[in-house]
Amino acid sequence: MKAKLLLFVMLVALTFSVKAQTNDDTPFKIGVGAMIGLPVGDFGDMASLAYGFDLMGEYAVAPSVALTLSIGYVDFSKKSEWKDLEDELNTKLKLGMIPVLAGAKFYFSDQIYGSAQIGLSFGTESGSGSTFTFAPGVGYKISENLDLLLKYQSATKNDADKSFLGLRLGYTF
């Protein structure tokens, strides 16, 4: 829990420090988002809910295209049968990950965009290493600063994956 709180505080501090260095005339934007989702595939048998937050930078390279870079934290609520197994084995299975993703946004109109990102997710369990991750999605800008993104995110390693269908609410500064 302390690690999650520390990561969140660092992301917020970075957000405000970058905001202080930008102005409205630049093509660079930064935002924060909160996400909730449903685990899918085989991973849906183990976890019942995905939730997390992220910090995302966006740099416009054309009127309808922007490059993105994000870092965040995603955790998963385990289903009760897995919690019972943990109790029997006297161990805790950590399902969290820290995705670091790069990609692009393609604006189809002033409000609708497509998103595609790839990168690595780092497991929060000791020795879990990194996992290839991809996240395509479609978004809707509610206002100049607020948007919704429906995305599918999958972190795959050794034929095992942590996949979910998520809804991200983002605020851009």
Q: Which residues pair with 45 in a beta bridge?
A: none
Domain that includes residue 12, residue range: 2-172
Structural contact between residues 96 and 73, judged by C-beta atoms closer than 8 angstroms: yes
Tens digits of residue pLDDT in 103-136: 999 999 999 999 999 999 998 887 788 999 999 9
User: Which pLDDT score, from 0 to 100, does residue 20 have?
Assistant: 41
Q: Is 6 exposed, middle or buried (0-12, 13-18, 19+ CB in 10 A)?
A: exposed
User: Which residues neighbour 64 within 8 Å (Cβ) at sequence distance 6 or greater?
Assistant: 106, 107, 108
Domains identified in the chain, total number = 1
Q: In CATH, what number is assigned to the domain containing residue 147? A: 2.40.160.20
User: Which pLDDT score, from 0 to 100, does residue 5 have?
Assistant: 53
